[in-house]
Amino acid sequence: MLSCGWLLALSLAALTGRTTGAVAYEQTERDCSLYPPYLPSTAVNTTLQLQELRERMLPLNISAYIIPGTDAHLSEYIAPRDARMAFMTGFTGSAGTAVVTQTKAALWTDSRYWVQAERQMDCNWELEKDVSIRNVAEWLISEVPSGSEIGFDPFLFSLKTQGDYGVNLESSNRSLKSIPVNLVDQVWKDRPSIPPDNLTLLPDRVIRGSWQMKVEQIRNQMRDNPYKPTALLLSALDETAWLFNLRGSDIPYNPFFYSYTLLTIDEIWLFLHTVRVTEELKVYLNASCEGPLCVQLKSYESILDHLKTYVAQPDIKVWIGTEYTNYALYEVITPADKLMTSSYSPVLTTKAVKDETEQRILREAHVRDAVAVIQLLMWLEKTVPKGKETELTAAEYVNMCRGKQKDSRGPSFETISASGPNAALAHYSPTEATSRRLTVDEMYLVDSGGQYLDGTTDITRTVHWGTPTALQKEAFTRVLMGNIEISRTIFPSGTREPHFSICVNMEMLGRRALWEVGLNYGHGTGHGVGNYFGVHEWPVGFQGNNIPFRAGMFTSIEPGYYKENDFGIRIEDVAVIIPVQTKYGQDYLTFDTVSLVPYDRKLIDTSLLSSEQLQWLNKYYKTIRRLLGPELDKQGLNEEKDWMFRNTEPFMASGSSASVCSSSLTLIVLPVALFHIV
């Protein structure tokens, strides 16, 4: 909960259009222009770790050191022990790059996190807002002398990242220097250890096939490939987890474990922390035999040496997915004729398409998840007018409700529970220090999800318990229009060539109703979702570098709008891509929404909706009643069922409507900055 001083500061900001003076800084962001600088209580003192890191840099003769916010598997979500960027900077956002020289330190992150960074970093750090590698390189060129070497950990760089730095630095007489021993790890004295938990075998009822079947499926793709790879290297954590039907707990909110796999036509090597391998697991993996379906268990740290040994053999060709293979592994696969690349491995592209069993159980998980979200919204509707609930208690409540559902394995990410100005921060999550009291006078946004044995969920709803302003109501309705326009669109199932234009047009569908009145949002419009995997499952989504949509893929659809220091709106549903019958054409697809929670009625201006949009909305509400009603009956939740029926009453058309016409879209290439995923 924030103090009255915070509320006064917001009031002043609303009147003046900016935040100035000491009051505005009492509990929000740093001000390094003051003397002494103002630092909020959320800022972290980084002086000591910077001093020690700079001392480590000196004997290596490097003028700068780059610290990415990822791990050796190029994961989006990382374990506490891999949060090197957070340790050095104090900034805990999920995206960013830090650079340290002997005299300066800078952090690059995107617009989702600018305010968070200003709240968490001390004045040792500069905040840079152009996240391109070109901008980082230009900063390095301006800060380190000609002839300098710039250190980096090759395990934390992708092939593209290393290449982009090289291209941008090559004409400046400055170069990258690979340092395989991470310098931050040497400074980080209390670095968290690897969790001791054993791995989990998935029950048969929630897997698409045995690991032996999956191995043969991938080997068949290797055999059919015209370049004839002899081995496939799997580096992304969800690749190995999927291939062997295993789950772990190394990464918060994500059921993964540290691992690599090297799969050949007749051998399998699994690299992991072998101390956690039980006798049961050894039997399950056929670890005591030799043969094409026997898994040879190797230590996690031995992957580099083993790969070198394998590549040294004649007539070898290793297939890698460049998006998730780190540079340290890539650079040992030499000469070039021993390497075969694709953006994504065949495991990721195969896993993206769910079979009938996976589709069914993922739908079932969303039904149970909807019960938990409805319990939250109904509870808040009752309790917020009493003035006792906060952003933090709301987050705790929805996670408690999910925990009571069948096969629950906890939240799928840190719950975004945000009211008023906090909701304008796309990735804000409440803490004891920042949690605001919920009131009937402000918008409230909750973006949450659950991990279940049969699926992963992700849903966002925005509500208002009082009287929304005209802008809030119009903005919400236009966000909803974007959600509906994507959800109801029909599009061809095509090859990669037209896929980028399809993605861009769908992005436009999500934004056009907002664009018409000069509004927009600065994040991506959707991402893949898995079956008890990561809540952001690549390579599915609306970006140009995603793979073409196919029937059986699940994606989120999540347009939004954020008014700085005032309110935020996001509507997020998960949908499965399904075949659709058209009058003339064959092989067309559409989306079927599997999230089952109604939207806030008081925020919907039906006069803005076209008849087609209104028809879609009423059909969706019928689906909620049909699928959710029996589950609420089964759980004996009569009050929640009554609430659901009241909030899914059909809408009647009123007044004039503003249609969003998908047939008249013009291809526009959207800026890359718009594609950061929420």
Q: Is 297 exposed, middle or buried (0-12, 13-18, 19+ CB in 10 A)?
A: middle
Q: How many CA atoms lie within 13 A of 487 on its CB side?
A: 27
Six token digits for residue 413 = 């990410």
Under a CB-based contact definition with an 8 Å cutoff, are residues 506 and 541 in contact? no
d(CA 554, CA 572): 13
Is 568's pLDDT higher than 70?
A: yes
- The values of phi and psi at residue 235, to 5°, are -115, -35
Report pLDDT digits (tens) over 624-659: 999 999 999 999 999 999 999 999 999 987 543 333
Six token digits for residue 160 = 């593209």
Under a CB-based contact definition with an 8 Å cutoff, are residues 74 and 235 in contact? yes
Give the distance from CA 171 to its chain's centroid. Answer: 35
Report pLDDT digits (tens) over 218-264: 999 999 999 999 999 999 999 999 999 999 999 999 999 999 999 99
pLDDT value at position 331? 95
Under a CB-based contact definition with an 8 Å cutoff, are residues 1 and 420 in contact? no
446 beta partners: 417, 461
Q: How confident is the model at residue 16 (pLDDT cuts 50, 70, 90)?
A: very low
Q: How confident is the model at residue 22 (pLDDT cuts 50, 70, 90)?
A: very low
Under a CB-based contact definition with an 8 Å cutoff, are residues 89 and 107 in contact? yes
Report which of residues 110 and 653 the model is more confident about: 110
User: Quick one: residue 74, left, alpha or beta (phi over 0 = left, psi -120 to 50 = alpha)?
Assistant: left
Contacts of 604 (CB under 8 A, 6+ apart): 473, 476, 477, 480, 651
DSSP conformation class of 44:
B
Residue 531 DSSP SS3: coil
Under a CB-based contact definition with an 8 Å cutoff, are residues 486 and 624 in contact? no
Delimiting residues of CATH 3.90.230.10 domain(s) in the chain: 356-647
Q: How confident is the model at residue 94 (pLDDT cuts 50, 70, 90)?
A: confident
Q: What is the mean pLDDT of residues 570-574?
A: 98
Report which of residues 141 and 111 the model is more confident about: 141
Name the residue type at position 181. Answer: V
Contacts of 283 (CB under 8 A, 6+ apart): none
d(CA 474, CA 480): 10
pLDDT value at position 654? 58
Delimiting residues of CATH 3.40.350.10 domain(s) in the chain: 46-187, 200-351
Predicted TM-score (pTM) of this structure: 0.90
Question: Percent of the chain having pLDDT more than 70?
Answer: 91
pLDDT value at position 8? 31
* Largest interatomic CA distance in the chain: 74
pLDDT value at position 543? 85
65 beta partners: 100, 151
Picking from 430, 433, 434, the residue whose alpha carbon sits closest to that of residue 397 is: 430
Report pLDDT digits (tens) over 424-475: 988 899 989 889 999 999 999 999 999 999 999 999 999 999 999 999 999 9
- Span 46-187: which CATH code? 3.40.350.10
**Assigned superfamily of 200-351:** Creatinase/prolidase N-terminal domain (3.40.350.10)
d(CA 637, CA 216): 46
- Span 356-647: which CATH code? 3.90.230.10
Burial 262-272 (b: 16+ CB within 10 A, else e): bbbeebbbbbb
Contacts of 388 (CB under 8 A, 6+ apart): none
Name the residue type at position 385. Answer: P
Six token digits for residue 377 = 């919204």
